[in-house]
A and B are shown apart, each in its own frame.
Chain A
Amino acid sequence: MDDDSTPPPPANDAPAPPPPALNSGSPTDFLKGVVGKRVVVRLTSGVDYRGVLSCLDGYMNIALEQTEEHVNGRVINRYGDAFIRGNNVLYISAAEAI
């Protein structure tokens, strides 16, 4: 057991850093922000889908437009529209400024 006189954390007079002005917001805010933007959707299999995010739902099912399917950095397929079942999604990355 530590003794009671545990010193306060090392002297650091600066106040707690404010949250960064950019990059703030919840995951939901991010997702709202990227709707209509170009995104990269990576599946757990490692396949990437690049396209315009037209919408998504609470299961992270995704509707993409102008979709390119990338495997090992190569385009192997294009789809005008694509529905991606949410359970396969690893991440959604913004491919342009939000």
Chain B
Amino acid sequence: MDTSSAGIQEPFDLIRLSLNERVFVKLRGDRELTGVLHAYDGHMNLIMSAVEETIMVVEPVEGAPHSQGSVNYVKRKMEMLFVRGDGVILVSPPSRT
């Protein structure tokens, strides 16, 4: 009766199964994180380590419509990070194939 995924009853199970794994996190403000997930709570506050943050910055190009600026990616690394839950849009665990 189980669906294809192993024992997921509620969405947070997906996060629980990702503890101590490298996860991808999409945040508000065109930011993305990859890092090892150490802890989370019901707000989706996260504790992550060995984090790389990617920030998408759209630079306006002169003469081009402002929706077509060139996109720059700024990266930075952090050893240990607390992420406030309300900034989280999506969390993707490593593929469980």
Number of interchain pairs (Cβ within 8 Å): 71
Chain B residues with CB under 8 Å of A62's CB are: 11
* Nearest chain B residue, comparing its CB with the CB of A72: B67
* Contact residues of B between 1 and 30, Cβ < 8 Å to A: 3-5, 8-15, 24
A65 to B14, CA, bound (A): 10
A76 to B21, CA, bound (A): 23
Per a CB cutoff under 8 Å, which of A54, A65, A80, A83 touches B90? A83
A54-98 interface mask toward B, CB cutoff 8 Å, 1 = contact, 0 = none?
111100011101010000000000011111110110000000000
User: Is B79 in the interface zone, CB < 8 Å from A?
Assistant: no
A19 to B80, CA, bound (A): 56
Contact status A54-B89, CB under 8 Å: no
* Majority secondary structure, B binding face: mixed
Contact status B95-A57, CB under 8 Å: no
Q: Could you write out 30 A-B pairs with CB less than 8 Å apart? A: A36-B3, A54-B3, A54-B8, A55-B8, A55-B9, A55-B11, A61-B11, A61-B12, A62-B11, A63-B5, A63-B8, A63-B11, A63-B13, A63-B14, A65-B3, A65-B4, A79-B24, A79-B92, A80-B92, A81-B92, A81-B93, A81-B95, A82-B91, A83-B11, A83-B14, A83-B90, A84-B90, A85-B88, A85-B89, A88-B89
Interface residues of B (CB under 8 A from A): 3-5, 8-15, 24, 44, 85-86, 88-93, 95-97
User: Other CB < 8 Å A-B pairs besides A54-B5, A54-B8, A82-B90, 20 of them?
Assistant: A49-B90, A55-B10, A55-B11, A57-B10, A57-B12, A63-B8, A79-B90, A80-B92, A80-B95, A80-B96, A81-B5, A81-B92, A82-B91, A82-B92, A83-B12, A83-B14, A83-B92, A84-B90, A85-B85, A87-B86
